[in-house]
Structure 1
Amino acid sequence: MTEITVKTDTLPPAVERFVVAWGEMGAVWGVNRSVSQIHALLYISDRALSAEEIAERLKLARSNVSTSLRELMSWSLIRRVSALGDRRDFYEAEADVFEMVRRIAANRKAREIDPAIAALRQCLAAAEGDAQVSNQVRQRFKTMLDFTEGVARSFDEVLHLPTPVLSKLIKMGGAVARLAGFSAGRRAKRSDADD
């Protein structure tokens, strides 16, 4: 992949690289590139920025910045702040990375997992009263619903862990799986035995 760097007078190279990379990652996750870049700029900024400053630094249309700011506020990733003696609105990002990730995860769950659960419940309820739907199909609906509800419960439990506990779990990495008696080597052996 070729990386194109657009030089700006206002962003140090490291900040520009972060903003561009965050924008690319956002696009992969299904988030508008401008929204992601504005979030990155506000996250990395050591002070709140006005919409005009954001537009100038990122070379974006003011209307695009306004729309993107509203989107970021709907996710609770940024907040509007006022400055004494200035009528403009300024914006700052949530700086606590754990809180930021919690908010992103909670919003993704609300927008993706919760509607999937609702749809699966409706499918299962409709299948229960339909003689044309086989028991095997009903069972697949139920299995998918049980799995998705389990993921949602686990997701909620992890999101509500205190930051120090979550931080320790992340640092433990694969030790959690090893503690549960699971390792990549064992998984491969189990998979081979199942075949």
Structure 2
Amino acid sequence: MKLTPLAERFVLHFGEMGSRWGVNRTVGQIYALLYISAKPLNADEIGDVLEFSRSNVGIGLKELQAWRLVKLVHLPGDRRDYFEPPKDVWEIFRVLVEERRRREIEPTLSLLRDAMLEQPGSEEDRVAQAKMRQMYELIELTTGWLDEVQRLSPETVINLMRMGAKVQKLLDFADRLKFGRKDDGKGDLP
């Protein structure tokens, strides 16, 4: 199997992006190859296409399995292990959000909760603790919103995303109704 120029650009780009997302280039390229592949691939096939050593492929696949971004599958009549990503892009997104939350957000929230429970020993600590509380509240609000969004169907999320600025207009309209202000037709409030 040889990559087409289009596929090669995609795989190379994912390798570059992987380092920005917290995984190494090899892992990013392996994932990209599996994502665009029409069928599950085994480690030898991955290594041949990407020209990676068997050990690098094995390490990369273990990392992707730890992230729950690839799963092990078996093909009838073949004893080798094959790998494939989730088929649904929304499932991939959901898994990424859950893993990022578990690895990055939860430890930060835990540290912030602990820090807020401490008695400030100085004015500097009081100021720092107040800022930590603001950060904690923002992260909690954001993760709560994300939890709500993840419970929605992909179709609903797509519609919500497509609404874009219309949501802001709806919220502005609701505020005008709530506070009894009238719209002069130009979108400006008196």
Give the TM-score range, shorter chain: 0.7 to 0.9
Which residue is equivalent to 1:18? 10
| Structure 2 alignment gaps of length 5 or more | 174-190
Which residue is equivalent to 2:166? 175
Select 1:163's aligned residue among 142, 154, 162: 154
Is the aligned partner of 1:105 residue 2:81? no
Report the TM-score, using the length of structure 1 for normalisation.
0.81
Is the aligned partner of 1:143 residue 2:134? yes
Post-superposition CA distance 1:141-193 (Å, at most 9, x none): 222211121112112222222111112122223332333339xxxxxxxxxxx
1:91 Cα deviation from its structure 2 partner: 0.6
1:98 Cα deviation from its structure 2 partner: 0.9
Which residue is equivalent to 1:51? 43
Whole-angstrom distance in 1 between the partners of 2:167 and 2:25: 35
Structure 1 residues 178 and 27: alpha-carbon distance in aligned structure 2, compared to 1, 3 A threshold: farther
Post-superposition CA distance 1:9-30 (Å, at most 9, x none): 7111111111111222222222
1:84 Cα deviation from its structure 2 partner: 1.7
Residue correspondences, number: 172
Which residue is equivalent to 1:118? 110
Instruction: Give 3-state SS (helix, strand or coil) of 2:27's partner.
Output: helix
| Matched-pair contact (CA < 8 Å) for 1:106–1:159 | no
Whole-angstrom distance in 2 between the partners of 1:87 and 1:98: 31
Which residue is equivalent to 2:121? 131
Query: RMSD of aligned C-alpha atoms?
Result: 1.8
Which residue is equivalent to 1:185? none
Whole-angstrom distance in 1 between the partners of 2:26 and 2:166: 38
Instruction: Give 3-state SS (helix, strand or coil) of 2:79's partner.
Output: strand
Post-superposition CA distance 1:124-147 (Å, at most 9, x none): 112xx2433554333222222111
Is the aligned partner of 1:69 residue 2:61? yes
Whole-angstrom distance in 1 between the partners of 2:164 and 2:16: 26
Report the TM-score, using the length of structure 2 for normalisation.
0.83
Instruction: Give 3-state SS (helix, strand or coil) of 2:81's partner.
Output: strand
| Matched-pair contact (CA < 8 Å) for 1:39–1:72 | yes
| Structure 1 alignment gaps of length 5 or more | 1-8, 183-195
Instruction: Give 3-state SS (helix, strand or coil) of 1:60's partner.
Output: coil
Bigger shift: 39-48 or 149-158? Answer: 149-158
Aligned identity (percent) is: 40
Instruction: Give 3-state SS (helix, strand or coil) of 1:86's partner.
Output: coil
Whole-angstrom distance in 2 between the partners of 1:170 and 1:31: 28
Which residue is equivalent to 2:86? 94
| Matched-pair contact (CA < 8 Å) for 2:34–2:41 | yes
Which residue is equivalent to 1:28? 20
Highest CA radius of gyration, 1 or 2? 2
